[in-house]
Amino acid sequence: MKYIERDITMKLAEYAKAFPVIYLTGPRQSGKSTLLKHAFPEYRHANLEEKDTREFAIADPRGFLNTLETPAIIDEAQYAPELFSYIQTIVDERDESGMFLLSGSQDFLLMKNISQSLAGRVGILSLLPFSEHELILADNPADNTNEWLFSGQYPRQILHGISPRDFFPNYIKTYVERDVRLETGVQNIDRFESFIRICAANAGSPINLSQVGNAVNTDARTIASWINILEESYIVFRLKPYGKNQTMRYSKTPKLYFYDTGLLCSLLGLNAEGDLVLSDKRGVIFENAVIVEYYKRVYNEGGFPGDHAYFWRDSSYREKEIDFIIEQANQLSLYEIKSSQTAKAKFADNLLRFERYADGVKCEKTVIYDGPRKAVLNGILFVNRREVRY
């Protein structure tokens, strides 16, 4: 099977020279184990998904680590939290870089143990499903935009040619049964599955906890905890509203997006590319996909995209909205995202309005659309979604 090079490989190699422990996180099936074994073929390897290996690590963590030796890769390390204090002792005694490469797909299980035992000793990276850049370099991009949106980018599904109609329902069922039921204590799985589908129906919109709770007969506090579970397992992320100060940003309701639009399409009940073409959700799905490409690029460079990414909505007029804003030093990059293949001057209206709100901050304005070439209308650059350089 062909291996597709991952953009994060260079940063992973840098971290292995700087930190004694590297933790590679991300959603299930994003290619973490394959990447680690490909990038570090000389490392010993243990997978704690395997029952006997997991039981050995839990029952005798010191013996397990002595048998494994270093340097080593430990996949799904969250299943044996007993290991972390012993790993800390080893790295403190030897003070070498790149001793342990840990992977995990459940941040709600692993991060607490890392922060307690390995603070200051670990470099953390996040691996998402394939970026379009990775697939283009591998000469394996989607044939068209609808396929890109509908198929998603999970490595196993793409490399094995699994139909989205088969892959994503099973992915959700496995995620809910294994990660949610067994590891988080959520009891009412039927309500949780309904909650996920309601989140999909509200993708690209501010999420109202009380309304979602009423829809699944659950209180708002529980809904908040469930959204945290989805975030920590890389199913969704929240995009903060832009404000002139930090208080304004955290006092308003964020938008909810999915890390993979193939999964989003499945949850919305779209079973074929043709369903997507006719769906009133196509524009939101396109917007979601464009924003996720930014998140992938930043994660692949070792950054934290949520620290600098926003949307903007005028509190008085709902139609006055900027889909995506990236805050950089003394500059805002503003993006209006449209799934249309036709450039229309009105797409830039909110970008032009925003300057009155920006209070002199330099604003770079771009419309991202699905048209075939660059265009300039009313002084605003229109670029195809594949040509965006964040």
Summarize pLDDT for 78-129 with one digit per residue, the tens.
Answer: 889 889 999 999 999 998 999 999 998 766 656 666 767 777 889 999 999 9
d(CA 57, CA 319): 55
Task: Please name each of the domains of the chain with its CATH number.
Answer: 9-126 (3.40.50.300), 132-299 (1.10.10), 309-387 (no CATH)
**Which long-range contacts link 273-282 to residues 24+ away (Cβ below 8 Å)?**
273/146, 273/147, 273/150, 276/146, 276/149, 276/150, 277/146, 281/203, 282/149, 282/339
pLDDT at 329 > cutoff 90: no
Output the pLDDT for position 313.
87
Question: Does residue 132 contact residue 141 with C-beta atoms inside 8 Å?
Answer: yes
Say if residues 361 and 331 touch (Cβ distance below 8 Å): yes
Amino acid letter, 202: N
Compute, in degrees rounded to 10, the torsion defined by CA atoms 229, 159, 368, 291.
Answer: 10
Band (pLDDT 50/70/90 cuts) for residue 247 is: low
Spatial contact of 232 and 110, defined as CB atoms under 8 Å apart: no
Does 191 score more than 70 pLDDT?
yes
pLDDT at 367: 97
Please, are residues 75 and 32 in contact by the beta-carbon 8 Å criterion? yes
Q: Quick one: angle between helices 107-117 and 83-94, nearest 10?
A: 40
Q: What is the pTM of this model?
A: 0.94
Report the pLDDT value the prediction gives residue 376, as an integer from 0 to 100.
92
